[in-house]
């Protein structure tokens, strides 16, 4: 004979009480009319539907959680502007080659904004030159006295080109306000910053939409249209109109001389496309994969990207913000992570944007020491990417000496091979000394904008991470 356990008998009255309480909610009242019965039945069915949806959502969340537990999780770490977002795009191109096919139009707008941003920086330097020359040429005895002849090499032709390029700046400001209407302050944040996630892509696509009407049709009707049907506020239209002036200004030897005199190297700034202005400022421009990888759009927050590899393994790669105020958000992602790709730009002669008293390389070394010593990461592979090797080569070729910024380097040869070896060994020593338990040291030299070479490195890294993961699971 079947007997209920005493615990089941104890729970039975409680379940009956709960069922009774639930049934009381939908119990038909006395003298219920047909309309009241219909309404009550509708509410009962709706409550059951919502309950089923909640149960299904909980079940789906559990499945996702279980799947994530079995997945390989990789963190991209490094200071701001170390190349994390660029490396993530290389991951997407290497392991999800069709990822950008539906987003090419959005990245086209980002590349165009990058080009406009470089023009903006160029014009700012010229403005500074003109203003300083104007101020120095005034007689010291009177601010309102006649102007003395200017000693600037810039001519009236440079001033006319500058005026013709000003519409680019107003267009950039308008697009930026649409991307960040609640945060945008051009004085405090001259570079476009967007919140992690895909919301900015929808906003940007709508902002630069030409072929399809925007959400507000009345606003669309007021937008000026060119003879070929293009929106005059479209970046493609405006850039095509300014194309010759951009090229002429960038290639002008006088302008290059002013930049050199003021110590400005636009070529080393993220999102630099002035050398490609003839191609990008063309009305028929379409971005290449290399353009998308080089495109610069600063994000704040944490980006999660899921990859399903051809062998069936599931990967999650997290790109976390590298600025100082974002670093406390790294800790929650340290739990159960298989590998960390730590990016270090060998920018020994640069300082942090948020603190110009801190050398960028010193800050990277500090972060590296913290990551290596963290007990939560004791079982994770920490893979070092000495990044932006192309910029290191240009810096050393320009005659900048490492010893000036890193006295411990001494009089060692000032070439790429010896400089790279010095810093690689420095990071290796900290890794060996600070790791909670012995683990292998992995280091790769990369230039994230070199897509083919970087993707080849990522294939090697992927196989190493996968092998380490399988060894932990005792599969091999």
> Secondary structure of the chain in the HEC alphabet?
CCCCCHHHHHHHHHHHHHHHHHHHHCCCCCCCCHHHHHHHHHHHHHHHHHHHHHHHHHHHHHHHHHHHHHCEEEEEECCCCCCHHHHHHHHHHHHCCCCCCCCHHHHHHHHHHHHHHHHHHHHHHHHHHHHHHHHHCCCCCCCCCCCCCCCCCCCHHHHHHHHHHHHHHHHHHHHHHHHCCCCCCCCCCCCCEEECCCHHHHHHHHHCCCCCCCCCHHHHHHCCECCCCCECCCHHHHHHHHHHHHHHHHHCHHHHHHHHHCCCCHHHCCCCCHHHHHHHCCCCCCCCHHHHHHCCCEEECEEEEEEECCCCCEEEEEEECCCHHHHHHHHHHCCCCCEEEEEEECCCCCECCCCCCCEHHHHHHHHHHHHHHCHHHCCCEEEEEEECHHHHHHHHHCCCCHHHHCHHHCCCCCCHHHHHHHHHHHHHHHHHHHCCCCCCCEEEECCCCCHHHHHHHHHHHHHHHHHHHHHHCCCC
Residue 143 confidence (pLDDT) above 80: no
- Lowest-confidence range among 76-85, 108-117, 295-304, 368-377? 295-304
Q: How confident is the model at residue 182 (pLDDT cuts 50, 70, 90)?
A: low
* Residue 218 predicted with pLDDT over 90: no
Mean pLDDT of 243-247: 95
Q: Name which residue leads in pLDDT, 402 or 84.
A: 402
Residue 232 annotated as part of some ligand binding site: no
Q: Tell me the average pLDDT across 242-263.
A: 92
Report which of residues 474 and 418 the model is more confident about: 418
Q: Averaged over 137-161, what is the pLDDT?
A: 65
Reported pTM: 0.70
Residue 220 is predicted with a pLDDT of 39
Judge whether 388 is annotated as a binding position.
yes
* Predicted local distance difference test score (pLDDT) of residue 473: 54
Query: 309 a known binding residue?
Result: no
Between 78 and 15, residue with greater pLDDT: 78
The domain limits of the chain are 70-98+301-473, 103-133+153-208+231-293
Select the CATH number that applies to the domain covering 103-133+153-208+231-293 from these four: 2.60.120, 3.40.1130, 1.10.3470, 1.10.400.
Answer: 1.10.400
Which range (5-14, 46-55, 209-218, 284-293) has the least confidence? Answer: 209-218
432 known ligand binder: no
Average pLDDT, the chain: 78
Highest mean pLDDT among 68-77, 293-302, 366-375: 366-375
Q: What pLDDT sits at residue 227?
A: 46
Is 355 a known ligand-binding residue? no
Mean per-residue pLDDT for 162-191?
70
- Determine the topology of domain 70-98+301-473 in CATH: Rossmann fold (3.40.50)
Residue 448 marked ligand-binding: yes
Where do the H-state alpha helices sit in 274-340? 277-280, 289-294
């Amino acid at each position: 004979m079947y007997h209920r356990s005493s615990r089941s008998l104890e729970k039975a009255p409680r379940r009956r009480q709960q069922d009774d309480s639930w049934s009381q909610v939908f119990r038909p009242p006395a003298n219920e009319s047909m309309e009241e019965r219909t309404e009550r039945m509708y509410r009962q069915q709706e409550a059951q539907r919502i309950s089923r949806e909640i149960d299904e959502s909980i079940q789906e969340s559990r499945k996702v959680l279980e799947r994530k537990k079995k997945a390989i999780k990789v963190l991209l770490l490094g200071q701001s502007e170390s190349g994390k977002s660029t490396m993530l795009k290389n991951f997407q191109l290497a392991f999800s080659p069709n990822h950008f096919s539906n987003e090419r139009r959005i990245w086209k707008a980002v590349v165009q904004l990058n080009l406009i941003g470089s023009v903006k920086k160029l014009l700012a330097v010229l403005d500074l030159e003109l203003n300083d020359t104007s101020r120095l040429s005034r007689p010291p005895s009177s601010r309102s006295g006649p102007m003395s002849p200017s000693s600037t090499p810039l001519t009236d032709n440079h001033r006319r080109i500058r005026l013709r390029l000003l519409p680019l700046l107003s267009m950039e400001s308008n697009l930026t306000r649409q991307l960040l209407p609640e945060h945008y302050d051009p004085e405090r944040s001259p570079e476009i910053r967007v919140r992690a996630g895909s919301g900015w892509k929808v906003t940007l696509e709508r902002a630069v939409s030409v072929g399809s009407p925007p959400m507000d049709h009345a606003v669309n009707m007021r937008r000026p249209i060119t003879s070929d049907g293009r929106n005059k506020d479209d970046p493609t239209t405006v850039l095509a109109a300014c194309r010759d002036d951009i090229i002429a200004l960038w290639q002008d030897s006088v302008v290059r001389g002013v930049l050199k005199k003021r110590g400005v190297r636009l070529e080393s700034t993220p999102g630099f496309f002035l050398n490609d202005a003839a191609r990008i400022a063309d009305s028929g421009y379409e971005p290449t994969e290399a353009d998308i990888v080089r495109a610069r759009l600063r994000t704040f927050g944490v980006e999660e990207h899921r990859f399903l590899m051809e062998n069936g393994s599931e990967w999650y790669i997290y790109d976390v913000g590298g600025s100082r105020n974002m670093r406390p958000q790294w800790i929650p992602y340290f739990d159960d992570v298989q590998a960390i790709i730590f990016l270090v730009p060998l920018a020994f002669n640069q300082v942090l944007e948020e603190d110009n008293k801190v050398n960028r390389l010193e800050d990277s070394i500090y972060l590296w020491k913290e990551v290596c010593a963290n007990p939560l990461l004791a079982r994770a592979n920490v893979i070092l990417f000495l990044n932006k090797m192309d910029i290191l080569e240009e810096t050393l070729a320009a005659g900048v000496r490492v010893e000036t910024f890193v006295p411990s380097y001494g009089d060692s040869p000032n070439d790429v091979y010896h400089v790279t070896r010095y810093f690689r060994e420095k990071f290796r020593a900290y890794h060996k000394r600070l790791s909670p338990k012995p683990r292998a040291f992995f280091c790769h030299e990369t230039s994230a904008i070199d897509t083919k070479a970087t993707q080849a490195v990522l294939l090697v890294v992927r196989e190493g991470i996968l092998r380490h993961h399988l060894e932990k699971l005792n599969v091999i």
